[in-house]
Every structure is written in structure tokens, then in C-alpha cells.
Amino acid sequence: MAMPLPIPSNATITAWARLIRAHNIVFAAVEGELKAAGFPPLAWYDVLLELRRSGGSLRPLEVERHLLLAQHNVSRLVDRLEKARFVKRLPVEGDARAQIIAITDEGRDLLTRMWPAYAAAIQKHVGDRLDSEIDATQLSHLLARLTQSEK
């Protein structure tokens, strides 16, 4: 008699373990290089980039949706960004509960200054480790599957 296949399969368990490990190693390496160059955490870059992409400002709820952060995390992250002068909180006409988070000139400048170091780190820790564009595309494709909703 054949042995029943384990659920999850060994291939699935290995994929899980390597996803966690690859992320931890690559993320720490990239963020570590930026930190060594005197830059703030990548979470700051992510928020500022979303703001710039969206024309300069977003509502907190939109930041939460784009970056998959909880409401209170955005609140605290914006606290730090505002204290560092990279964003400003603006009131919303007609709804005193709401606010708009707007990137400042200093925030745009930080994005500009960070990108060369960030790009170099991505190339070093991701691009240089894959043999070809085809591999990068294939990896992206498989990772995208993990974040799609159930079949």
C-alpha cells in the first residue's frame, strides 16, 4: 500500500519555511543598508511613496488599505512622520472627524535621496541573486498567487 501523502505536502511546508526565511534575510539586509546610510525604516518610505503616487495626500483609511496597516499603526506612524516634518495633517472640509495626510517638500526630498540607496540594495539582495528576468517574473507570479483570494 502507498503511504498517504501528508497534508500539507512536504513541498508546501518547504515553500512556507523558505518564504519566511527569505523574507527575513532579504528584508533585514535591505533595511540594514538603508539604516547604515542614515535613513529611516522602510515603513516610512512606503507611506511617503503612497502619498506621492496619490498626488501628494491620502486619508488615513486609504493608507491603511494600501499598506495593510491597522488604524492605530497608521496613527502612530503618522505621528512620527509628522514630528520628523515629512508629512502634515490637514483638516477636511465638512467632516471634523476626518483628516488628510499630505507629504511635505522634505518628505519628497527624502524619497528622492533614499531611492538610489534603496534601489542598489534591492539589486544586490534580489536582482543579483536571480539568474534572469524570467526568474524574477516567475517568482513574482508565484508570490502573487499567495495573496489572491480563494479559488
Partner DNA sequence: TAAGATTGAGCCGTCAATCTTT
Partner DNA sequence: AAAGATTGACGGCTCAATCTTA
Residues that bind DNA (CB under 7 A): 28, 35, 40-41, 43, 59-61, 69-80, 89, 94-99
**Cis bond upstream, residue 8 (ω within 30):** yes
Residue 16 binds a copy of itself, judged by CB under 8 A: yes
Residue 111 binds a copy of itself, judged by CB under 8 A: no
Least distance (Å) between residue 130 CB and a copy of itself: 6
SS3 content of the chain, % helix, strand, coil (to 5): 65, 10, 25
Q: Of these, 1, 4, 23, 33, which contacts a copy of itself (CB under 8 A)?
A: 23
Residue 11 binds a copy of itself, judged by CB under 8 A: yes
Pick from a copy of itself, DNA, none: which does 2 bind, CB < 5 to 8 A by kind?
none
Q: Is 94 exposed, middle or buried (0-12, 13-18, 19+ CB in 10 A)?
A: exposed
Could you say which DSSP state residue 9 is in? -
CB 69 within 8 A of CB 63: yes
Residue closer to DNA by CB (options 85, 89) is 89
Rounded CA-CA distance 80/147 in Å is 29
Phi, psi (5° rounding) for residue 88?
A: -130, 145
Residue 37 binds a copy of itself, judged by CB under 8 A: no
Residues that bind a copy of itself (CB under 8 A): 7-9, 11-16, 18-27, 30, 68, 119, 122-123, 125-131, 133, 135-140, 142-148, 150-151
